[in-house]
């Protein structure tokens, strides 16, 4: 080879060596045991990856159900349920198991999510002992399959506006559930088309003509393969992907369920028809109910991270084997990963995947702490909800981008179904939409920032938020944010005083953090100011919001990027000295600088980056790519993806 793979070494720079096993253990963290169980199950069930292509849709749905039930028997899918019902009693472990499962077939993953996360989670968190006793034991084994019937055709992301109605009939002590109009049919509901026997149905509770808002009810929808009386089920048919999941549409025509079918943890109806709830404010009640379902978003975010790993492991392994075009005088073709452009395409994505992995660790831990009661106050819950929403958005968009880039980086071979990208791309596409459209989720993140996760948080729709913000001074809006507090410390940590942005080294992580904190704080003030100005001009709040919406989304992005970078930096700092620390430090620098580089226009526009410094960031990114190039194989190997599920023999070679 005539190509020098390493750059002229700066004085004192020593290429680090990675301890792949130790790095893998770091990534698995406290959940190594459950992750190893899932990996073993993935290998056992690896033929499902072929079945996804070979079986027709009906047979594949059956196969996926069988495999889910078999996995359930190993304890893998029930980690989040109480031990007295046969669960594992460990919320964090249940998320870790789900994340790891995302390395395999994604129909299996989503079927698990529907059954144990959405359906099981609703029974567990919205129901009380009578529901737990009745349903959890069979639910956890997969014997009783169920649906989470929330989404409606007409109201994808706006759950509060859904149109299904549950009217209380006091004489019969029953609820009568009815689909009011085409737009109110339940749609895209997993387990509905074939396997679900019960559904948790979200409907507007109505008592004596008074609406009490959205509540959840357990409704039998199918028995012995036949739809229940009054229940009409349609198959959603073939989808872009996830065709092992039987999504469908459900309509209810005066379906009667007993009073006890109301999942009554947060509200109940007495036999006489008196509505009772420990939470007075109906909006807060609604969002408290929804909030218990946050684990779904945490799960999907983690799945997005691991889908990215699979794609990157394949593309990186390929780039370390494949030669294309002569590079040197001797005429031997050059490895793809020795091309600067190819390094630029893959290595920052590897860095960002590590960053998101560590960010996911934090949100999983927060979830565990809140749901195990270790730290459960309203503020912590709201911060968790915002963080889960934002991490889900970033991780799933990342997955979409990574799968596409990696497919292209593998050329025509990447297009063959045997090499995984076909399924990865089709199956993961909907991650950006389900469990909440990513743009809607980012608005939720921004809302939290603008209102400091105030108690009013859940009450506020878009317009409520606009009015809330315009009632405060801009200073008050930013003062309480953590970005503000963290930025105040800059002077102590960086050289140059007010010139910190010019004086500090590009590879100083305090500089990198200060940049993304500054951006967040500045954007927060900008959004608040714009909202106030619009309202001061007596303009229509909807129009004002519409015009500020791109700033709102940018703010939420900036906030999440800050949290992700902090997660990465904190993790590297806590590592013991050694090759892994040096390697992850390079990767963290690469992630930080590509993040800043991607938005360098903004930093220049806002006086935080000179033209010269902006250009030097680009040079530094290229240098980091060259330094990380020899580590690329180890970095993807540390993800510990079983070769039986990685497949792609044409691309990664025989393992």
The DSSP output letter for 578 is S
109 binding a copy of itself? (CB under 8 A): no
Out of 435, 561, 566, 620, pick the active-site residue.
435
Using CB under 8 A, which of 532, 600, 627, 647 touches a copy of itself? 600
**61-95: buried (b, 16+ CB within 10 Å) or exposed (e) per residue?**
bebbbebbbebbeebbbbbbbeeebbbbebbbbbb
The Cα–Cα gap between 629 and 510 comes to 25
338 binding a copy of itself? (CB under 8 A): yes
State the pairing for strand pair 231-235/210-220.
unpaired
| Closest CB to a copy of itself among residues 138, 437 | 437
User: Of the listed pieces 38-46, 84-92, 302-310, 599-607, which binds a copy of itself according to CB under 8 A?
Assistant: 599-607
10 binding a copy of itself? (CB under 8 A): no
User: Of the listed pieces 77-85, 114-122, 153-161, 309-317, which binds a copy of itself according to CB under 8 A?
Assistant: 153-161
User: Of the listed pieces 61-69, 331-339, 473-481, 515-523, which binds a copy of itself according to CB under 8 A?
Assistant: 331-339
535 binding a copy of itself? (CB under 8 A): no
341 binding a copy of itself? (CB under 8 A): yes
Residues 54-83 that bind a copy of itself (CB under 8 A): 56
| Closest CB to a copy of itself among residues 318, 358 | 318
Bridge partners of 201?
Answer: 149, 217
The Cα–Cα gap between 609 and 519 comes to 11
With CB under 8 A as the rule, give the number of residues binding a copy of itself. Answer: 82
CA distances in angstroms from 578 to 22, 330, 574, 629, listed in the order given: 11, 38, 12, 19
223 binding a copy of itself? (CB under 8 A): no
179 binding a copy of itself? (CB under 8 A): no
Using CB under 8 A, which of 278, 607, 649, 653 touches a copy of itself? 607
Q: How far is the CB of 365 from a copy of itself (least distance, A)?
A: 30
Number of residues assigned to the chain: 655
In the stretch 414-433, what mask flags binding to a copy of itself with x, by CB under 8 A? Answer: xxxxx--xx--xx--xx-xx
The DSSP output letter for 332 is P
State the pairing for strand pair 323-326/333-335.
antiparallel
Using CB under 8 A, which of 605, 649, 653, 655 touches a copy of itself? 605
**Structure tokens of 194?**
């074939």
Q: State CA 487 to chain mean position distance.
A: 27
Q: How far is the CB of 421 from a copy of itself (least distance, A)?
A: 7
CA distances in angstroms from 332 to 145, 324, 514, listed in the order given: 58, 9, 46
Using CB under 8 A, which of 434, 453, 518, 568 touches a copy of itself? 434
Residues 538-577 that bind a copy of itself (CB under 8 A): 540-543, 545-550, 553
Q: What is the dihedral of CA 63, 68, 73, 77, to 10 degrees?
A: 170
6 binding a copy of itself? (CB under 8 A): no
The Cα–Cα gap between 233 and 185 comes to 10
| Closest CB to a copy of itself among residues 189, 263 | 189
**Structure tokens of 89?**
């009693």
The Cα–Cα gap between 468 and 449 comes to 12
Q: How far is the CB of 7 from a copy of itself (least distance, A)?
A: 9
User: Of the listed pieces 74-82, 336-344, 383-391, 448-456, which binds a copy of itself according to CB under 8 A?
Assistant: 336-344
Using CB under 8 A, which of 20, 134, 155, 256 touches a copy of itself? 155
Q: How far is the CB of 155 from a copy of itself (least distance, A)?
A: 8
Q: State CA 262 to chain mean position distance.
A: 29
478 binding a copy of itself? (CB under 8 A): no
In the stretch 370-409, what mask flags binding to a copy of itself with x, by CB under 8 A? Answer: ------------------------------x---x--xx-
Residues 623-652 that bind a copy of itself (CB under 8 A): 650
Using CB under 8 A, which of 33, 461, 475, 488 touches a copy of itself? 461
State the pairing for strand pair 255-258/248-252.
unpaired
User: Of the listed pieces 26-34, 140-148, 211-219, 536-544, which binds a copy of itself according to CB under 8 A?
Assistant: 536-544
Q: How far is the CB of 645 from a copy of itself (least distance, A)?
A: 18
Q: How far is the CB of 561 from a copy of itself (least distance, A)?
A: 17
Q: What is the 3-state secondary structure (H, E, C) of 143-183?
A: CCCEEEECCECCECCCHHHCCCEEEEECCCCEEEEECCCHH
459 binding a copy of itself? (CB under 8 A): no
| Closest CB to a copy of itself among residues 72, 312 | 312
The DSSP output letter for 480 is T
**Structure tokens of 21?**
């096993």
The Cα–Cα gap between 303 and 300 comes to 5
Q: Is the dihedral of CA 108, 113, 116, 119 positive or negative?
A: negative
Active site residue 70: no
Residues 270-329 that bind a copy of itself (CB under 8 A): 324-329
Contacts of 460 (CB under 8 A, 6+ apart): 447, 451, 468
Q: How far is the CB of 157 from a copy of itself (least distance, A)?
A: 7
Q: How far is the CB of 413 from a copy of itself (least distance, A)?
A: 8
The Cα–Cα gap between 223 and 394 comes to 40
The Cα–Cα gap between 212 and 209 comes to 10
- Please identify every residue annotated as catalytic: 435
């Amino acid at each position: 080879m005539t190509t020098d793979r390493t750059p002229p070494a700066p004085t004192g720079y020593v290429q680090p060596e990675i301890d792949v096993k130790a790095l893998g253990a770091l990534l698995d963290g406290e959940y190594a045991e459950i992750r190893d169980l899932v990996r073993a199950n993935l290998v056992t069930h690896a033929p499902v990856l072929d079945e996804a292509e070979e079986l027709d849709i009906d047979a594949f749905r059956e196969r996926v159900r069988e495999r889910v039930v078999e996995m359930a028997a190993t304890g893998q899918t029930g980690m989040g349920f109480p031990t007295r019902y046969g669960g594992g009693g460990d919320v964090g472990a249940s998320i870790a198991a789900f994340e790891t499962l995302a390395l395999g077939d994604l129909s299996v993953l989503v079927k698990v999510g529907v059954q144990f996360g959405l359906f099981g989670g609703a029974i567990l968190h919205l129901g009380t002992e009578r529901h737990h006793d009745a349903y959890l034991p069979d639910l956890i084994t997969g014997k009783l399959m169920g649906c989470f019937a929330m989404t409606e055709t007409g109201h994808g992301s706006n759950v509060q506006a859904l149109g299904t109605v549950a009217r209380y009939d006091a004489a019969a002590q029953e609820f009568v559930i009815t689909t009011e109009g085409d737009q109110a049919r339940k749609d895209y509901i997993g387990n509905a088309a074939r396997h679900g026997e019960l559904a948790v149905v979200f409907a507007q509770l109505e008592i004596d003509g008074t609406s009490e808002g959205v509540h959840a009810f357990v409704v039998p929808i199918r028995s012995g393969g036949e739809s229940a009386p009054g229940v009409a089920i349609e198959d959603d048919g073939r989808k872009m992907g996830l065709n092992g999941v039987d999504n469908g549409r459900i309509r209810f025509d005066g379906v009667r369920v007993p009073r006890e079918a109301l999942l009554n943890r947060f509200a109940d109806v007495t036999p006489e028809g008196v509505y009772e709830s420990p939470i007075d404010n109906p909006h807060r009640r609604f969002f408290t109910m929804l909030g218990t379902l946050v684990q779904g978003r945490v799960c999907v975010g983690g799945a997005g991270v691991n889908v990215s790993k699979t794609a990157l492991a394949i593309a990186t392994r390929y780039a370390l084997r494949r030669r294309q075009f002569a590079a040197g005088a001797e005429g031997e073709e050059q490895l793809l990963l020795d091309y600067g452009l190819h390094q630029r395409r893959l290595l920052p994505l590897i860095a960002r995947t590590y960053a998101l992995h560590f960010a996911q660790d934090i949100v999983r831990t927060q979830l565990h702490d809140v749901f195990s009661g270790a730290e459960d106050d309203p503020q912590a819950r709201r911060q968790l909800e915002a963080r889960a929403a934002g991490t889900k958005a970033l991780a799933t968009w990342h997955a979409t981008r990574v799968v596409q880039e990696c497919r292209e980086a593998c050329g025509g071979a990447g297009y063959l179904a045997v090499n995984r990208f076909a399924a990865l791309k089709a199956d993961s596409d909907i991650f950006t939409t389900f469990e909440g459209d990513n743009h809607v989720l980012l608005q939720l993140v921004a809302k939290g920032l603008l209102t400091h996760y105030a108690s009013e948080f859940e009450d506020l729709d878009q317009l409520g938020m606009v009015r809330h913000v315009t009632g405060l001074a801009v200073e008050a809006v930013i003062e309480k944010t953590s970005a503000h507090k963290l930025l105040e410390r800059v002077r102590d940590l960086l050289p140059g005083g007010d010139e910190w942005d010019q004086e500090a080294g590009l590879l100083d992580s305090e500089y990198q953090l200060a940049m993304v904190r500054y951006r967040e704080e500045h954007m927060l003030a900008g959004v608040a100011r714009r909202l106030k100005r619009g309202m001061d001009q007596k303009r229509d709040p909807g129009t004002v919001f519409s015009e500020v919406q791109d700033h709102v989304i940018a703010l939420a992005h900036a906030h999440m990027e800050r949290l992700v970078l902090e997660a990465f930096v904190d993790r590297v700092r806590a590592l013991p000295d050694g090759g892994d620390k040096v390697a992850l430090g390079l990767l963290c620098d690469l992630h930080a600088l590509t993040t800043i580089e991607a938005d360098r226009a903004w930093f220049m526009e806002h006086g935080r980056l000179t033209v010269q410094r902006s250009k030097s960031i680009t040079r530094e990114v290229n240098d980091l790519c060259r330094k990380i190039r020899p580590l690329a194989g180890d970095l993807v190997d540390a993800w510990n993806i079983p070769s039986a599920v990685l497949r792609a023999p044409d691309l990664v070679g025989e393992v």
